[in-house]
Structure 1
Amino acid sequence: MPEMRIISHTLRSHGVKVAKVHKYDWLILVLLAAVDLSLNFIEPFHRFVGEEMMTDLKYPFQKDTIPFWAVPIYAVLLPLSIFLVYYICRKDVYDLHHAILGLFYSVLITLVITDAIKDAVGRPRPNFFWRCFPNGIGVYDPNTNNAICTGEKMIIKEGHKSFPSGHTSGLGFLAWYLSGKIKVFDRRGHSAKLCIVFLPLLCAALVGISRVDDYWHHWQDVFAGGLIGIVIASICYLQSFPLPNQRDGWAPHAYFLMLDAERNVDESLSPATRVNSLRMRRTDIESPGSSP
C-alpha cells in the first residue's frame, strides 16, 4: 500500500497550531540553553597535575583543524538545511517541526551532559602543559608537586575540559532522519542507501579524530563523547519518529495522530458532508510513488 501524504499541512496553515501544542517543549529547550550557558561560567574541577604527569600532557598547543565556529554549521545548520529541503518538497510541517525540535533537544541535552561532566571531572587536555606554562618553564608547588600555572586564566580553564568530547549528536540525529526518509531498511536490499546514512556518521567520526590529532582531546574523551552523543540522538529521534524499519518510519508520530483525528472527524460527519470533505481532501493528497 503506498504511503499517503496530505500536502496542505504547511507552516501557514498548521505551523502556529503545532507550535502551540509543543510550547512547553520549546520553553524547556530555552531553559536547557540557559543551563548550558551557565555551565560555561563554572570553574571546572582542578585535579592534581604533578610534574611527572606532564609527560603525557606536553603535546603541542595548536589551533583546531575544524575551528569552533564550524561546529554549529555541521551539527545544526547542515541538518536544518536538509529538513527545510524536505519540507519544500513535501510540505509537511509536522515533519519539519519535530525534526527541528528533536535536533535541538539532541544537541542541547548532549551539550548539558558533556559540559556538566567536563566541569565535574576536570581532566587536563593533552596540551595542558603549554596552556599552564606558555613559556615552557614548569613551576610546581614544593610541598605537593602540583602544577602552579602561569598562563592565561581562560586558556587554563579550557585546559581542564578534556573529558568528554561533544560534537556528534547533531550528525547522529541526521543519520537517523535520513534512514527514515530514504527507507534504508525497507527489506529490498538497496545497500547503496546505507552510504547516505553512514556519511553523517563518518563526518562525526572524522571530527572526533581531528580533535585527537590536534591534541585537544584524548581518544577516550572522543569515544565517550561519541557514545553519549549517539545515545542521546537516538532517544531524541525515537521520541518523535518511528523506527526506520517500520512501515510508517518515514513520518513523525504526530503526523499519523493527525490523520487519525481527521478520520474521526470524517466519521462524525453526515454522509453528504463526508463526500464533499473527501472530494476536497483528495485534491490535497499525493502518493510519493512507492509501490505496494
Structure 2
Amino acid sequence: MMPPPTPPIRLGPPHPYLKTHGSKVARLHLFDWIILALLVAIDVGLNIIEPFHRFVGKDMMTDLRYPMKNNTVPVWAVPIYAVIGPIIIIMGIYMKRRNVYDMHHAILGLLFSVLITGVLTDAIKDGVGRPRPDFFWRCFPDGLPNYNNLTTQVICHGDPAVIKEGHKSFPSGHSSWSFAGLGFLSWYLAGKIKVFDRRGHVAKLCIVILPLLLAAMVAVSRVDDYWHHWQDVFAGGILGLVVASFCYLQFFPPPSGEQGFWPHAYFEHILNPDGEGQVQSTNNSNHHQSVSGGPVAIEMRSTSQELDSMEEGRRAQ
C-alpha cells in the first residue's frame, strides 16, 4: 500500500522588498501621487494670490507695533526638519526592516499630511487676512503713520510684498507644518517602538514626545519673533496635528493595537498576495474575518511566528 502524498509546503507570501514590490506598490497608488502634485499646485497658487486686507484702523495699531525681527526658524528650514528629516528616519527603518509597504505608505502619508495642512493653512490665511503683530512697521517702515481722515483706516506706503505678508498672521504656517510633519513622525515612531505595549517603558514615550517638543519650540519662536499672535500658533498647531493624525490612521493601524507595527496594506498583502488592488465583493467580509475569526484568522495565526520574527528584525535575508 502506497503512503498518502505529502501535502505541499506553504511558504507564505514573498517578503515585500523595494526591488521586488516597489513598482507594484507605486502603481497601486499612482492616483494618490497625482493628487499630491495637485495639492502642490494649489498651495503655490494660494501663495501667489493677494490675501484679504482686513480693516486696520488707527486705534488698532496699539497692538500691532511690535518690532520687525528676522525669523529664528527661516522658512527654508521648515521642509528640512518637517519633511526631509522624517523621510530619512523612515528610510532608515526600511534599511533595517526591508518592508516597502511600510516605507511607501509612511512617506505618502507624511506628504499628504504636510500638503493638506499647507493648503488649509494658506487658504485660511488668505481668507482671514489677520495683520501680524509687527504690521505697523510693515505698513509704515519710516515710522510716519498715515490714516484715512474719515474711516481712520491705514494708508500704507511700505513695500507691497512686505505688506502682503503682513496680512497672513492666522494661522501660523510654521506651526501647522511643524506639527503636521513631526506629528506624523510621532505617530509613526509610536507604532515602530510599540510605545503603548503596556510594559511601562517611559523612555519610549520620551522618544515619541521629542518630535512634538521640537514642533512646539518652533511655534513658540513665532510668537517670540513677533510674526504671530499666540492664537495663530495655537490654531496652527492643532490644525497640523489633527491632519497628521487622520493621515497616519488612513495608512496605519493605531499604535496601541496588536497590528500597529505595519501598515494596513501589508496585512492585505499577507492575506491576499496575488490579488492586491482587485475589487472584490467579499473584500470587506474577508477583512472582518481576519480580525474577528474564521478561516482567514486561523491562517494569520498559523504564520504569527513569521510575523513576529519580521517585526523583531530577525528575518532571513
Report the TM-score, using the length of structure 2 for normalisation: 0.81
SS of the residue corresponding to residue 40 of structure 1 reads helix
Equivalent pairs counted in the alignment come to 268
- Taking the TM superposition and a 5 Å limit, the aligned residue runs for 1:76-95 are 76-95=83-102
- 2:31 aligned with 1:24: yes
Letter in 1 for 2:216: A
- Taking the TM superposition and a 5 Å limit, the aligned residue runs for 1:142-291 are 142-165=149-172, 166-167=176-177, 168-262=179-273, 286=310, 288=312
CA distance in 2, matches of 1:34, 1:264: 34
Counterpart of 2:75 (choices 31, 56, 68) is: 68
- 1:226-254 deviation digits (Å, cap 9, x = unpaired): 11111000000000000000001011000
Letter in 2 for 1:18: V
- Taking the TM superposition and a 5 Å limit, the aligned residue runs for 1:106-125 are 106-125=113-132
Deviates more, 1:201-210 or 1:162-171: 162-171
CA distance in 1, matches of 2:13, 2:227: 48
CA distance in 2, matches of 1:72, 1:231: 19
Q: What's the CA shift for 1:138?
A: 0.6
- 1:185-228 deviation digits (Å, cap 9, x = unpaired): 00111111100000000000000000000000000000001111
Letter in 1 for 2:160: K
| More RCO (CA 8 Å, sep 6+) | 1
Q: CA RMSD in A?
A: 1.9
SS of the residue corresponding to residue 87 of structure 2 reads helix
Cα–Cα, structure 1 residues 218 and 286, in superposed 2: closer, same or farther, change >3 Å? closer
Q: What's the CA shift for 1:161?
A: 0.3
The residue aligned with 1:141 is 148
Letter in 1 for 2:234: F
- The answer to whether the Cα contact below 8 Å between 1:18 and 1:94 also exists between their aligned partners in 2 is yes
Gaps of 5+ in 1: 266-281
SS of the residue corresponding to residue 56 of structure 2 reads coil
CA distance in 2, matches of 1:6, 1:12: 15
- 1:150-195 deviation digits (Å, cap 9, x = unpaired): 1111110000000001232101100000000000000111111100
Report the TM-score, using the length of structure 1 for normalisation: 0.88
CA distance in 2, matches of 1:37, 1:287: 40
CA distance in 1, matches of 2:254, 2:134: 42
- 1:116-136 deviation digits (Å, cap 9, x = unpaired): 000000000001111111101
- 2:53 aligned with 1:46: yes
The residue aligned with 1:270 is none
Letter in 2 for 1:205: A
CA distance in 1, matches of 2:150, 2:313: 75
- The answer to whether the Cα contact below 8 Å between 1:133 and 1:151 also exists between their aligned partners in 2 is yes
Q: What's the CA shift for 1:8?
A: 3.6
Cα–Cα, structure 1 residues 216 and 7, in superposed 2: closer, same or farther, change >3 Å? farther
The residue aligned with 1:272 is none
CA distance in 2, matches of 1:169, 1:180: 17
Runs of 4 or more consecutive aligned structure 1 residues displaced over 2 Å after TM superposition: 5-8, 262-265
Letter in 2 for 1:226: G
The residue aligned with 2:297 is none
